[in-house]
Chains A and B, each alone.
Chain A
Amino acid sequence: MQTISKRARFWLPLIVLALVVVLALGGCARGANTGNTSSNQNTSTSSQNPTSTSSAGGSSTSSELQHLQQVDQQNQNDANNLNNDDQNANQNFGNDQETQP
């Protein structure tokens, strides 16, 4: 019984130490991750596109609709001008019959 308690006395601090080491390593790893995140934030200035894409995902729809409206407006403005061009192309330009002086 005494030998068992002696063994326990020997292993217990080692187990505690091992746990402390594991926890400490785990904490370092988390700390390292946090560090990485902060460095990501630095690059995020240049990679704001994904963020803006998601918010622009909404505004992208509105800008697409706006673009379509602009094309529609141009088409409407164009309709009369296109008819005028057609009338000009089909006008009677004059007589090109050969006439002797």
Chain B
Amino acid sequence: MKNFKNFCSRHLAALSLALVGALSLFGIAAAAAPVADAASCTTVSCVQQFGNQRIQERLTALEKLKTDAKNNKALTGQQQDIIVNDANSNENGLNALKKQLDAETAIKPALADVKNIYVQFRIYAVVLPRDYGEIELFHEQNASQRMTDAEVTIDALIQKDQNGKNIGQIKTLDQDYMNKLNDASTNMKGAQGLIPSLVPANYPGTNSTLKTYHQDLKTARLDLQGAANDLHQMTQLLKEDLGGSTGSSS
């Protein structure tokens, strides 16, 4: 009985010691957590270093946007300039903010400057998705224009192919071609109409607008690729019907 009491008291002591240890560790961790969540920078230079890193990341991304726009051969020079000018405008703004941040001497205005990197610019959340979308939009508009212009040639060839063996199929494809180009045009106009609202001031509402914007661009792209497929088939069939007679006459 005595042994049992000793056994219990020893274990209870060990258990309570372990409990105290665990609680104290938990307390330390709990106390440390708010310190980590709160501003860890206690000096202006620390805030400046943090802000400059965030600015540099964004400047690098904007430079890449400019390179991508300039290297995109599907865009006209004017279209490339629109993207490059927008990137330059954001770069200028960020560089001005960096200058302001570097000149701060108190921590509170330095923290406000850092906040403005997000609030005023929203490079990742708004500018880049909008501008890369605009590159896609320009590309789609150019492809659409090319195929719309080709409609005159298709019509002329259809007129000459009235007795051709593939004329029925060609006419069906031509109708589908025009429908797809019309649908692509509607979706491109929809995407274009959303661009003015894709500005940092409208964040976070821009998130849902961007979803619609990208969906419109995607639908337009699929329509254009469908139209391109129709045109490919029409070209083959028209060549089959008219290609032989053309060869003999020329």
Contacts and interface: CB of A to CB of B under 8 A. Distances in A.
Interface of A: 57-59, 61-62, 64-65, 67-69, 71-72, 74-76, 78-79, 81-83, 85-86, 88-91, 93-98, 100-101
B39 interface: yes
A89 B247 contact: no
Contacts of B224: 82
B146 A71 contact: yes
16 contacts: A59-B249, A61-B246, A62-B247, A64-B157, A65-B157, A72-B232, A75-B146, A75-B231, A75-B232, A78-B139, A79-B225, A88-B132, A89-B214, A90-B214, A94-B57, A101-B47
A94 B61 contact: yes
A96 B246 CA distance: 61
B164 to A, nearest CB: 12
B160 interface: yes
A101 B45 CA distance: 11
B154 A68 contact: yes
Contacts of A101: 39-41, 46-47, 49-51, 111, 114
A58 B123 contact: no
Nearest to B49: A101
A93 B124 CA distance: 5
A74 B232 CA distance: 11
A89 B135 contact: yes
Contacts of A58: 245-246, 249-250
A79 to B, nearest CB: 6
A30 B116 CA distance: 94
A82 B140 contact: yes
Contacts of B239: 65, 69
Contacts of A93: 61, 123-125, 128-129
A58 B61 CA distance: 54
B231 A72 contact: yes
Most buried by B among A76, A85, A98: A85
B136 A86 contact: yes
A89 B132 contact: yes
Nearest to B73: A81
Interface in B40-79: 40-41, 46-47, 49-51, 57, 61, 68, 72-74
